[in-house]
């Protein structure tokens, strides 16, 4: 078979399975999730062995540190995947729920029933845990899913997909409800993105280049975010010690992820106190600063002058852009110009300033006195997440089970005809 034929057949089988999954009993879906949790724990040696093959190849190919970190499946990652299966199984099944039933003057009753999207294609890089996160969320929401992980994680993803198929079979659900593209050839993705007769929506997870390529090629809707340029604005009356801890967490804990802090905006009235503290704590932990002229002298030897390219840039590294601003207006103007609608935070004790920030700043998550790292489906109580959408249409922010469904109108009548 040609690549085109292989991909078309894979998508056809997923479409066929989606019809069964859309009407599957919640108990069967939950059983599959719990079986998968057990399989993940009992197959840890198998998973680690497959992952080590990918890691060794990645090292030979000089994959950068951030991508190696995303690629590795540690025992903690396995346990996290298994726990996510159990958490999602315990969540309420959204499929079939009817919202807002109202009676119209004609006497008909009109409501909205929550229904699966159908077939969801996921294209992602490096992180093999996305294989499990995507599968369990799509399954719980009654969707079939086509997975296309990065070639660097081919063996890891093949192992995990095999375990998912076992779990589906054990629960009496179609094994083709979760399928992977049969080849790592890039041509397969191009073919898949034209199959809108089989695939209802595609979700790309990865770098901006990947996402823009998917948007350009896809003939079906794309749920996406291009990048995570996250800001923290430190208001003039913020608690400096508390602010320092939040800034440190947002930048240093995991600098290579989309909800990590990329730009710090500091009110001039607190900058003289806070910035030397930031330079000391973050600088000692390897952070380098791209500083505006006013902040340069307060950030020490790891600071270099910021250029225009540093504003609105996603470093994904221990690099932080820093700018001193005169007031909240200037901070919010900067965010409006350079933000990516991902995560924005304000640190303040002023209630009115916080509420203004929440109302006026446009982002999928706006945080008050908390790290941007919290913009995550698991942290928001969604179980695992399938990605963060900044598209605004259909879903805005982390996408969990509910965001993987849509609604259709349901009408109950008693013989009414339209006048």
Assess contact for 264 and 323: CB atoms under 8 A.
yes
In this prediction, residue 76 carries a pLDDT of 95
Q: Which pLDDT band holds residue 181 (cuts at 50, 70, 90)? A: very high
Per-residue pLDDT, 392: 79
383: pLDDT strictly greater than 80:
no
Residue 8: CB atoms within 10 Å: 18
pLDDT at 125 (0 to 100): 81
| Residue of higher predicted confidence among 378 and 149 | 149
Q: What share of the chain has pLDDT > 90, as a percent?
A: 84
pLDDT at 386 (0 to 100) = 84
- Structure tokens of 238? 């913020």
Confidence of residue 346 (pLDDT cuts 50, 70, 90): very high
Residue 384 has pLDDT above 80, yes or no: no
Give mean pLDDT, residues 19-26. Answer: 96
**Structural domains of the chain, with CATH:** 3-225+388-412 (3.40.605.10), 230-374 (3.40.309.10)
Question: Which pLDDT band, with edges at 50, 70 and 90, does 29 fall under?
Answer: very high
Instruction: For residue range 231-280, list pLDDT tens digits in order.
Output: 999 999 999 999 999 999 999 999 988 999 999 999 999 999 999 999 99
Higher pLDDT among residues 381 and 326, named by residue: 326
pLDDT of residue 131: 94
Residue 99 confidence class, pLDDT cut points 50, 70, 90: confident
Condensed to tens digits (0 to 9), the pLDDT of residues 43-76 reads 999 999 999 999 999 999 988 887 888 899 999 9
Residue-level pLDDT at 182: 87
Q: Which residue has the higher pLDDT, 182 or 336?
A: 336
**CA–CA separation, 200 and 204 (whole Å):** 14
**Closest C-alpha among 266, 274, 35, 68 to residue 168:** 35
Q: Is the pLDDT of residue 410 over 90?
A: yes
- Quick one: pLDDT at residue 248? 98
Residue 18: CB partners within 8 Å, gap ≥ 6? 116, 118, 119, 143, 144, 177
Asked if 152 and 67 count as a contact pair (C-beta separation under 8 A), the reply is yes
Mean of pLDDT over the chain? 94
Cα dihedral 411→399→171→130 (10° resolution): 160
The residues near 404 (Cβ < 8 Å, ≥ 6 apart) are: 116, 117, 120, 137, 138, 141, 143, 386
pTM, 2 dp: 0.85
Whole-number Å distance between alpha carbons of 125 and 189: 13
Are 47 and 73 in contact by the 8 Å Cβ rule? The answer is yes
Residue 205, pLDDT score: 86
Q: How far is the C-alpha of 246 from the C-alpha of 283, rounded, in Å?
A: 15
If pLDDT is split at 50, 70 and 90, which confidence band does 206 have?
confident
Question: pLDDT confidence of 387, banded at 50, 70, 90?
Answer: confident
């Amino acid at each position: 078979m040609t690549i085109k034929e292989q991909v078309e057949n894979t998508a056809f089988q997923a479409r066929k399975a989606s019809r069964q999954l859309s009407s599957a009993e919640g108990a069967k879906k939950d059983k599959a999730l719990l079986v998968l949790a057990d399989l993940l724990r009992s197959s840890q040696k198998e998973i680690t062995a497959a992952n080590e093959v990918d890691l060794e190849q990645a090292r030979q190919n000089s994959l950068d540190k951030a991508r190696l970190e995303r690629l590795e499946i540690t025992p903690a990652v396995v346990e996290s995947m298994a726990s996510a299966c159990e958490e999602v199984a315990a969540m309420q099944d959204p499929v079939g729920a009817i919202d807002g039933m109202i009676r119209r003057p004609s006497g008909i009753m009109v409501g909205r029933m929550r229904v699966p999207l159908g077939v969801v294609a996921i294209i992602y890089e490096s992180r093999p845990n996305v294989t499990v996160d995507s599968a369990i969320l799509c399954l719980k929401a009654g969707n079939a899913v086509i997975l296309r992980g990065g070639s660097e994680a081919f063996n890891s993803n093949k192992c995990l997909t095999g375990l998912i198929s076992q779990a589906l079979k054990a629960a009496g659900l179609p094994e083709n409800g979760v399928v992977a593209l049969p080849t790592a050839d890039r041509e397969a993705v191009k073919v898949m993105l034209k199959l809108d007769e089989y695939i209802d929506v595609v979700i790309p997870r990865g770098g901006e280049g990947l996402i823009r390529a998917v948007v350009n090629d896809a003939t079906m809707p794309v749920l996406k975010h291009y990048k995570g340029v996250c800001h923290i604005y430190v208001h003039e009356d913020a608690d400096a010690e508390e602010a320092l801890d939040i800034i440190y967490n947002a930048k240093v804990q995991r600098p290579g992820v989309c909800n990590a802090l990329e730009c710090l905006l500091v009110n001039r009235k607190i900058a003289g106190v806070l910035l030397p503290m930031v330079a000391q704590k973050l600088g000692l932990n390897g952070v380098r600063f791209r500083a505006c002229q006013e902040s340069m002298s307060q950030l020490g030897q790891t600071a270099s002058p910021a250029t225009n390219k540093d504003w609105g840039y996603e470093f994904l590294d221990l690099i932080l852009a820093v700018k001193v601003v005169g007031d909240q207006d200037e901070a919010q103007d900067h965010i409006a110009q350079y933000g990516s609608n991902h995560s924005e935070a304000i640190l303040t004790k002023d209630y009115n300033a916080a509420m203004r920030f929440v109302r006026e700043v446009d982002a999928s998550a706006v945080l008050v006195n908390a790290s941007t790292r919290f913009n995550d489906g698991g942290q928001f109580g969604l179980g695992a997440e399938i990605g963060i959408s900044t598209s605004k249409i259909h879903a805005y922010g982390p996408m969990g089970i509910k965001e993987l469904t849509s609604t259709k109108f349901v009408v109950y009548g008693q013989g009414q005809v339209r006048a």
